[in-house]
Amino acid sequence: MRLTSLIAAGVGLVFAAGQATAGELHFYNWGNYTDPKVLEKFTAETGIDITLDGYDSNDMMLAKVKAGGSGYDLAVPSGFMVKIMTDEGLIQKAGVNQMANFKNVEDQWVDVYFDPGREYSVPWQWGSTGISLNTKYYDGPKSDSWALVFDPPEELKNRINMVSEMSDVIAAGLFYLGLPQCNGNKADLKKLNDMLQSAKEDWRTIDYGIVEKMTSEDVYASHNWNGASMRARRVIPEIKYIYPKEGLNAWMDNVVLLSDAKNVDEAKVFMNFLMAPENAGMISSFAGYANAIKGSAEFMNPDMAEAPEIVGYEGAGKPEFIPPCTQEVQAMYTKIWNNLLK
């Protein structure tokens, strides 16, 4: 049976439980973000084999896709990057809102700014980017502020990590300085650049492997994503997730079908599969983030319902979604970022 027979016209993707279909799929996702058991479950149910490769930033993924010939069918950009990739013709419509399991997407995540009505993207996970702090080593007056990483106390100097995602670092710096996001003011950007260059002297690393760095206590504090912070806390209970009082950014990662995908039908079956509550719940339990699928909570680790990394921002800085900046502003941010990495 051809895989395309699984696509019901005008209805979306459907397949019978246990119905196996031969095929393959190449999936490009953030590293340490995909539960292997979810992929095994998908292959067992459909007969489609998945090859998984990882990246550590939206920019790394974008460069790979733009170069062409990546061989990947699906990628997982954050919301602002979905918009950029759509505008550049790098992803194609997948008819997500016509798939059988689309009914499970929570209403608030349907008309998102980067994909109104969800023609292109399936929600994967969402969260915020704040700070992980090992309170065994410091729990002082700067513990509610971005000052922990940008003007750190002596106890944390040379024991700080920053994420390797440009947009998150730039956003954090602008929040700390009280400057607007998507800011093209040259005087403001000079302040940002100077502050980051000065702060860098107290950092140990700019690295993606934050769970490992925090749990090995190679670093005592890290700019971090909330789910990764929760995974570290499960190992070291003294690790606390900080919602800086100056504000912090929120994000949603989404699965998209690349324009040059070779295994389009298989990709659409997988996209539909991800919107089933039990599968979304498995992904959240592994990665440590919230998802956008109704009914998934019953398939998640019970501790997630009250995890401070997910529901703990009352009275603190509230995560803010930041839309994509103009190309001109993005180019200035890239220059600051490249200087920071030297």
pLDDT > 90 in the chain, percent: 89
Topology annotation, domain 11-126+251-304: D-Maltodextrin-Binding Protein; domain 2 (3.40.190)
Where does the pLDDT of residue 311 fall: very low under 50, low under 70, confident under 90, or very high at 90 and above?
confident
The mean pLDDT of 31-37, rounded to a whole number, is 97
Domain boundaries along the sequence of the chain: 11-126+251-304, 128-250+315-341
Nearest to 280 by CA among 91, 122, 48: 122
Where does the pLDDT of residue 16 fall: very low under 50, low under 70, confident under 90, or very high at 90 and above?
very low
Residue pair 238/136 in contact (Cβ under 8 Å)? The answer is: yes
State yes or no: pLDDT of 20 exceeds 60. no
State yes or no: pLDDT of 212 exceeds 70. yes
> What is the per-residue pLDDT for 10?
32
Task: State the pairing for strand pair 221-225/91-92.
Answer: unpaired
> What is the per-residue pLDDT for 282?
97
Nearest to 316 by CA among 258, 248, 260: 248
Residue pair 271/94 in contact (Cβ under 8 Å)? The answer is: yes
> What is the C-alpha to C-alpha distance for residues 131 and 232, in angstroms, rounded to an integer?
12
What angle do the packed helices 327-341 and 166-177 form, to 10 degrees?
Answer: 100
Where does the pLDDT of residue 162 fall: very low under 50, low under 70, confident under 90, or very high at 90 and above?
very high
State yes or no: pLDDT of 223 exceeds 70. yes
State yes or no: pLDDT of 17 exceeds 70. no
> What is the C-alpha to C-alpha distance for residues 101 and 276, in angstroms, rounded to an integer?
6
> What is the per-residue pLDDT for 5?
38
Query: Mind giving me the DSSP string for 30-89?
Result: ETT-S-HHHHHHHHHHH-EEEEEEEESSHHHHHHHHHHS----SEE--BHHHHHHHHHTT
Task: State the pairing for strand pair 23-30/74-75.
Answer: parallel
Helix residue spans in 99-225 (DSSP H):
147-150, 166-177, 186-200, 210-215
Top-confidence residue, 138 or 18: 138
State yes or no: pLDDT of 13 exceeds 50. no
State yes or no: pLDDT of 1 exceeds 80. no
> What is the per-residue pLDDT for 200?
98
Where does the pLDDT of residue 317 fall: very low under 50, low under 70, confident under 90, or very high at 90 and above?
confident
> What is the C-alpha to C-alpha distance for residues 340 and 193, in angstroms, rounded to an integer?
8
* Mean pLDDT over each residue of the chain, to the nearest integer: 93
Residue pLDDT, tens place only, 90-110: 999 999 999 999 999 999 999
Cα dihedral value 39, 41, 46, 291, nearest 10? -70
Where does the pLDDT of residue 336 fall: very low under 50, low under 70, confident under 90, or very high at 90 and above?
very high
Q: Is 128-250+315-341 in the same CATH topology as 11-126+251-304?
A: yes
State yes or no: pLDDT of 146 exceeds 50. yes
Q: Give me the residue label for tokens 């019901």.
A: 8
pLDDT > 70 in the chain, percent: 93
State yes or no: pLDDT of 315 exceeds 80. no
Where does the pLDDT of residue 220 fall: very low under 50, low under 70, confident under 90, or very high at 90 and above?
very high
> What is the C-alpha to C-alpha distance for residues 78 and 255, in angstroms, rounded to an integer?
9
Residue pLDDT, tens place only, 184-196: 999 999 999 999 9
Show the CA angle centred on residue 83, arms to residues 300 and 7, nearest 5°. Answer: 65
Q: Output the six-digit token pair for 52.
A: 């998984």
> What is the per-residue pLDDT for 107?
97
Q: Give the lowest-confidence range in 10-14, 44-48, 61-65, 319-323.
A: 10-14
Show the CA angle centred on residue 277, arms to residues 211 and 232, nearest 5°. Answer: 10
Residue pLDDT, tens place only, 63-83: 999 999 999 999 999 999 999
Q: Give the lowest-confidence range in 169-178, 223-232, 297-306, 331-340.
A: 297-306
Residue pair 307/287 in contact (Cβ under 8 Å)? The answer is: no
> What is the per-residue pLDDT for 318?
82
Superfamily in which the 128-250+315-341 domain is placed by CATH: Periplasmic binding protein-like II (3.40.190.10)
